[in-house]
């Protein structure tokens, strides 16, 4: 009787101790990887998809981001495919060459590194946990979605944004591969889709027989087709064709991506800007 009670107590005690242990290890385990000059390349090279925050210890925005970033890392640690979140103290003297390599201008700067660091992209998503998770799930998923039905076309194509769609007789071959590669590279700037049925698209010629990239724009001539599949030529086509000839220079968020392209574009020929000052007279 007495020994049964002792062993029950022991079991009870053990359960409490082990749950405290697992609780404290859960709170102590950081999901965000800390990287520095000594292991950055090695760790990055092992990841198909890793997000790196370059921060400075004194930066207020970085401090605000830290708990959100950690929460996102914890949610994403069980995501399939894996999404790793890391940070580098870019202010530390020994890490400055890294900050230079990635052209870090301000803090925090977040980069997405793919294929072991071969492809580097800017993180352009939100700064709170749920938003970070949603944005990164989208980034790690397919860059281009197949349009199989009119409903797919309706839900994927946002009439207010540039949409790039590859039209292919079959969804394979070098043209399709090149299109997919580029979609992955430019995915944070444009929305991509692909289809074997041009007739499902809202605009443009519907009898397409050779691989074609069609850019649907919310401005100017609204639709442009392109049939070269060299990756660089295709990228140039997409970037050049998506610059509007005239952009309203205002605070409208819908115009911001076009304005950015404008200022970045080395060959934008026409700059027309209107600025309204509300002087409150």
Considering only residues 211 through 230, tell me which ones interact with ligand NAG, judged by CB under 6 A: 229-230
Selected from 8, 18, 39, 265, the binder of ligand NAG by CB under 6 A is 39
Catalytic residue among 61, 131, 141, 154: 61
Per the listing, tokens 């605070």 go with 251
Q: Which span (24-32, 36-44, 133-141, 257-265) binds ligand NAG, by CB under 6 A?
A: 36-44
- Give least dist CB 25 to ligand NAG, A: 17
Catalytic residue among 31, 37, 47, 62: 62
231 interacts with ligand NAG by CB under 6 A: yes
143 versus 153: smaller Cβ distance to ligand NAG: 143
166: left (phi over 0), alpha (psi -120 to 50) or beta: beta
Is 154 a catalytic site residue? Answer: no
Q: 35 forms bridges with which residues in the sheet?
A: 88
32 versus 132: smaller Cβ distance to ligand NAG: 32
Is 59 a catalytic site residue? Answer: yes
Rg (CA), the chain: 25
- Give least dist CB 219 to ligand NAG, A: 28
Q: How far apart are CA 74 and CA 222, in angstroms?
A: 43
Considering only residues 128 through 187, tell me which ones interact with ligand NAG, judged by CB under 6 A: 174-175, 178
- Give least dist CB 271 to ligand NAG, A: 31
List of residues 6+ apart from 226 with CB closer than 8 A:
212, 213, 214, 215, 234, 237, 241
200 versus 208: smaller Cβ distance to ligand NAG: 208
Helix orientation angle between 231-241 and 174-186, rounded to the nearest 10 degrees: 50
Q: 112 forms bridges with which residues in the sheet?
A: 51, 121
Strand, coil or helix: 216: strand
12 to 2, 9, 17, 21: CA distances (angstroms)? 15, 5, 9, 14
Residue 242 DSSP code = T
End-to-end Cα separation, the chain, in angstroms: 91
151 versus 232: smaller Cβ distance to ligand NAG: 232
Catalytic residue among 59, 79, 116, 117: 59
36 versus 152: smaller Cβ distance to ligand NAG: 36
Q: Which of 252, 245, 239 is nearest to 271 (CA)?
A: 245
- Give least dist CB 88 to ligand NAG, A: 10
Catalytic residue among 31, 37, 47, 60: 60
43 versus 129: smaller Cβ distance to ligand NAG: 43
Task: Point out the residues that are catalytic.
Answer: 59-62
Chain positions contacting ligand NAG, by CB under 6 A: 33-36, 38-39, 43, 174-175, 178, 229-232
């Amino acid at each position: 009787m007495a020994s049964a009670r002792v062993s029950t107590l022991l079991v009870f005690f053990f359960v409490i101790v082990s749950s405290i242990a697992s609780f404290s290890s859960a709170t102590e385990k950081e999901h965000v990887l800390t990287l520095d000059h000594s292991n950055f390349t090695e760790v990055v090279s092992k990841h198909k998809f890793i997000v790196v925050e370059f921060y400075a210890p004194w930066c207020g925005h970085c401090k605000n981001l830290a708990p959100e970033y950690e929460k996102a890392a914890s949610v994403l640690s069980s995501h399939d495919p894996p999404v790793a979140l890391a940070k580098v103290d870019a202010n530390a003297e020994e890490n400055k060459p890294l900050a230079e390599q990635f052209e870090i201008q301000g803090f925090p700067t977040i980069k997405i590194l793919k294929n072991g660091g071969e492809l580097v992209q800017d993180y352009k998503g939100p700064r709170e946990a749920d938003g970070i998770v949603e944005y990164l799930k989208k980034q790690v998923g397919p860059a281009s979605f197949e349009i199989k039905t009119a409903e797919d076309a309706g839900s994927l194509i946002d009439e207010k944004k540039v949409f790039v769609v590859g039209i292919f007789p079959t969804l394979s071959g070098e043209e399709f591969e090149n299109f997919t590669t580029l979609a992955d590279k430019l995915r944070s700037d444009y929305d991509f889709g692909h289809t074997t049925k041009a007739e499902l698209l809202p605009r443009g010629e519907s009898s397409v027989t050779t691989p074609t990239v069609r850019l649907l724009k919310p401005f100017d001539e609204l639709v442009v087709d392109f049939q070269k599949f060299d990756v660089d030529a295709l990228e140039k086509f997409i970037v050049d064709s998506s610059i509007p000839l005239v952009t309203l220079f205002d605070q409208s968020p819908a115009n911001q991506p076009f304005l950015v392209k404008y200022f970045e574009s080395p060959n934008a020929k026409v700059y027309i800007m209107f600025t309204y000052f509300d002087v409150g007279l």
